[in-house]
Amino acid sequence: MGLGGQDSSVQDYVCQLPEAERAKALAELREDDNIREQSLDQMREWINKHPNIKKCRTDVPFLLRFLRTRKFSVPQACEMLERYLTIRQLYPHWFRNLDCEDPDLAEIINAGYLVPLLDRDQGRLVLFSCAGKFDPHKFTSAHMVKVHSLVTETLMDDEINQINGYTYVNDESGFQMAHISLWSLTDVRNILRCIQNTTPMRHKANHFLNISSNAIKLIEFAISLLNEKLRNRIFIYKSIEEMHDKIDKKILPKEYGGEVPLEEMLAKFKFLLKEKRDYVLSLDDMYIEIDEKTCPLVSEMNEELGVGIDGSFKKLTVD
């Protein structure tokens, strides 16, 4: 892993992608061997010359997160990287110290709140979440975001994930008013803006199931903050059977019509978390020097994020 502008340990990259992913990367992301090599060199040069980036990974899998998300527009990839480094420092309670051995995070993971499925949806990794398995009386919204950050950071260097993107399946059964009370309006706005503009992931489809009257207010507000492209990728179902028309039920947990129990899927993912633990924790070595009062990027992000909006979902009326 390369850290910092003076890093000279970056190894040569040999593309080992399957032919299907190579073709998809070329068709959708404009990626070929030439473009990839030139873009990586340009990003490393930009990092080396950036006056405020003191430490940053410069290895190929890390930089490709941003280049592939931004379809090899180097300026846009560099801007996303700068935003990514900035939010990690502005919101450390969400994005730093992502330790799978932290007792609170481990308990939430072990409950089965957020689990990657074993099989893919049209090549995309599927992240399955169940709101009822997150205890809102014991944990905070920061715990919730941190678990999502831990899981996604564990997965984002995978090149197949970078090219094909992610599908989300969200079972909202068990969602309570207590879940809503965890969130301020500002936090919801902030985290959604972070997801849209700073997280190097291709969000391809978001499926919601078993939405209660308690959950609908929060979800409607969240959807209103998304850009049009992401809004068009949200699907809401009244039944599991209806969802099966969109997603092959065989890839879902056994409890939802599939073949493999969720517990088995979770056990496999916990091995990956352990394997990647040191790697994920080392992200905290990265550092960008920012002055929240004078940094133009921070001011721009604050404006986008709607900093200053007060309020809480505790005040919402639920039918």
Nearest-angstrom CA–CA distance, 120 and 222: 26
- Number of structural domains, the chain? 1
The string of DSSP letters for 201-222 reads --EEEEEEES--HHHHHHHHHH
| Look-up of token digits 């890093």 | 7
pLDDT confidence of residue 176: 86
Contact call for residues 116 and 101 (beta carbons, < 8 A): no
Mean pLDDT (whole number) for 69-87: 96
- Proportion of the chain above pLDDT 70, given as a percent: 88
pLDDT confidence of residue 221: 77
| Cα distances (Å, whole numbers) of residue 184 to 142, 222, 293, 310 | 11, 12, 24, 7
pLDDT confidence of residue 2: 44
131: nearest Cα among 245, 248, 214: 214
Tell me the residue ranges of DSSP E strands in 112-245.
114-116, 125-130, 166-171, 203-209, 234-237
> Coil, strand, or helix at residue 115?
strand
Mean pLDDT (whole number) for 125-132: 96
Q: Hey, which residues does 129 pair with through a beta bridge?
A: 114, 170
Host domain of residue 256? 100-276
56: nearest Cα among 278, 277, 285: 285
Whichever domain contains 270, its CATH number is 3.40.525.10
Contact call for residues 172 and 131 (beta carbons, < 8 A): yes
69 assigned to some structural domain: no
pLDDT confidence of residue 291: 77
pLDDT confidence of residue 299: 66
Say which DSSP state 3 is in. Answer: B
Residue 309 has pLDDT above 90, yes or no: no
244 assigned to some structural domain: yes
The string of DSSP letters for 25-89 reads HHHHH---HHHHHHHHHHHHHHHHH-SSEEE-B-SHHHHHHHHHHTTT-HHHHHHHHHHHHHHHH
175 assigned to some structural domain: yes
Most confident of 13-17, 59-63, 176-180, 195-199: 59-63
227 assigned to some structural domain: yes
42 assigned to some structural domain: no
319 assigned to some structural domain: no
Q: What is the rounded (10 degree) CA torsion for 181, 184, 185, 191?
A: -110
286 assigned to some structural domain: no
Confidence of residue 183 (pLDDT cuts 50, 70, 90): confident
